[in-house]
Amino acid sequence: MCGLNLGLIVIMIGLVVETEIGESMRFELDSGKTKCIAEDIKANAMTVGKYSIVNPSEGQPFPDSHKLVVRVSSPKGNNYHLGDLVDSGTFAFTAAESGDYTTCFWANKHKPPVKMTIEFDWKSGAAAKDWSKVAKAGQVETMEIELKKLHDTVSAIHEEMFYLRERYETTIAVIIAVNS
């Protein structure tokens, strides 16, 4: 029984680490177009993002056509970040409410049309913490850092379980109400 529980915990940690650790993505955006990316974030979770246009002519200044408008907004439409005609930027905030937070990238229309490649990295929860800075600031041993990471991951699993239970109970209540 203990082995089954331990195995379940290891699987859950793997799932949370897989979903909590954001991966960098790269996508193309044509001039005059918009691309939006959504991330389901729980209330009070820290989130950080970094974006940049890949310079088409390495070593040269960015062309004037390679500028974006970037907006990060909450599920209720509150703005958390606005970059106006930028080629790169960062954002960080603690989510006020649970739900889908959206980052939208707009590229101005150009003639001739331009295609931009954008690199985007978005992390939330335990993955949003920069443990290397914590280690340098506090002269903390490597094992202590790993234990703190593990503690944050387990805490994230715990919070996610409560969040999923709440969503399940809400769904059941709606189904019961519909069938009544």
Enter the tokens of residue 57. 């002519």
In tens, the pLDDT along 59-88 reads 888 777 788 999 999 999 999 999 999 989
Model pLDDT, residue 155: 84
Rounded to the nearest 10°, the torsion over CA 125, 154, 7, 135 is: 90
User: Is 104 part of a structural domain of the chain?
Assistant: yes
Q: Is the pLDDT of residue 135 over 60?
A: no
Enter the tokens of residue 159. 């919070």
Model pLDDT, residue 129: 67
In tens, the pLDDT along 85-103 reads 998 999 888 899 999 999 9
Enter the tokens of residue 26. 């790269």
Start-to-end C-alpha separation, the chain: 40
The CATH number linked to 87 is 2.60.120.380
User: Is 52 part of a structural domain of the chain?
Assistant: yes
Report which DSSP code applies to 97.
S
Cα separation of 37 and 120, whole Å? 10
Domain that includes residue 123, residue range = 20-161
- Quickly tell me which residue has 């056509």 as its tokens: 65
* Neighbouring-strand partners of residue 72: 81, 103
User: Is 9 part of a structural domain of the chain?
Assistant: no
Predicted TM-score of the model (pTM) = 0.61
Q: Is the pLDDT of residue 7 over 60?
A: no
Please give the tally of structural domains in the chain.
1
User: Is 177 part of a structural domain of the chain?
Assistant: no
User: Is 59 part of a structural domain of the chain?
Assistant: yes
User: Is 178 part of a structural domain of the chain?
Assistant: no
User: Is 167 part of a structural domain of the chain?
Assistant: no
User: Is 141 part of a structural domain of the chain?
Assistant: yes
